[in-house]
Amino acid sequence: MDDISKELNLDFNKNVYKPLDDTYLFLKYFKQFINKDNIDGIKLNKISYILDMGTGTGIIAIFFAKYFKSNLGLNIKIYASDILLDAIKLSKKNAKKNSLENEIVFIHSNLFKNFPISLKHKFKIIFFNPPYLPSESIFKKKNEKRNFYSWDGGKKGIEIFENFLIQSIEFLSPIEKSFIYFLFSTNSALDLLYAKIEELGFELKILIKTHFFFEDIILHCITRV
């Protein structure tokens, strides 16, 4: 277990993705680039809505909620959602364990399907550690004991994320620059994903690339003005 996980006091559950190297790569990056004034250069006082898509145990939403709560005067609303009801139940429980149950709104939803219309055009930042492995071949065998929502990104590994991107446009703030931070693996069809990102009018930046086990995991940021 990583230090960040210990600091956050989380429960786990066999049906829900237990934070792994990819989750910690994500959080270590933000631990380094968050301070009283900004997250990764984005001014905190310019942020009113953020979303943790595919929240799992809730770890990413809880990490930010904890930081914002200790930084008085901020008015940042945090949303967290997951397709898996068990993940929503567990992340709510974890938020409560950290006395953050009033700081995060949880939505049980397949991507943005159940999001209220009132959230359209609201989010300045979305975080997503998505399922990113191709459904077939060696990955199926390696992951057969895990809930497929946690790893199966579609036939080429990119389909869930592509759907997310298409739907996200309606939920990102249209009047100011907005940001999506996401992880992906070199075992997926990254060239096709990057082409889609460009086609949808996003600008792509690679933030970190780290080798784990059988793949490189890349943390990206895409922006839209």
Ligand X SMILES: C[S@@+](CC[C@H](N)C(=O)[O-])C[C@H]1O[C@@H](n2cnc3c(N)ncnc32)[C@H](O)[C@@H]1O
| Among residues 8, 54, 62, 181, the one that binds ligand X under rule CB under 6 A | 54
- For residue 42, the minimal CB distance to ligand X (Å) is 20
Query: Contact between 133 and ligand X (CB under 6 A)?
Result: no
Name which of 32, 30, 10 is nearest 19 in CA terms: 10
CA dihedral over 53, 56, 60, 61, signed as positive or negative: positive
Q: Which is nearer to ligand X, 53 or 125 (CB)?
A: 53
Other CB atoms within a 10 A radius of the CB of residue 154 amount to: 18
Residue of the chain from 4, 65, 104, 111 that contacts ligand X (CB under 6 A): 111
Phi, psi dihedrals of residue 50, rounded to the nearest 5°: -130, 155
CA dihedral sign of residues 101, 41, 51, 56: negative
- Of 49-57, 99-107, 169-177, 188-196, the segment contacting ligand X by CB under 6 A is 49-57
Helix H or strand E segment including 125: strand 125-128
Task: Determine the 3-state secondary structure of 54 from DSSP.
Answer: coil
Count of other CB atoms within 10 angstroms of residue 28: 16
Instruction: Return left, alpha or beta for 69; rule: phi > 0 is left, psi -120 to 50 is alpha, else beta.
Output: alpha
Closest to ligand X by CB, 160 vs 193, is: 160
Residue nearest to ligand X (CB): 54
Question: Is residue 129 a contact residue for ligand X (CB under 6 A)?
Answer: yes
| Contact track, ligand X, 75-104, x by CB under 6 A | ------xxxx--x-----------------
Pick the piece of the chain touching ligand X (CB under 6 A) from 6-14, 56-64, 98-106, 114-122.
56-64
Q: Are 148 and 190 in contact (CB under 8 A)?
A: no
Identified binder of ligand X from the candidate list 50, 56, 76, 181, rule CB under 6 A: 56
* Binding to ligand X, residues 2-41 (CB under 6 A): 17, 19, 23
Return d(Cα 101, Cα 210) in angstroms, integer: 33
Q: Give the C-alpha separation, 15 to 13, whole Å.
A: 6
Does position 134 bind ligand X by CB under 6 A?
no
By CB under 6 A, is residue 157 in contact with ligand X?
A: no
- List interacting residues with ligand X (CB under 6 A): 17, 19, 23, 53-56, 59-60, 81-84, 87, 110-111, 129-131, 149-150, 160
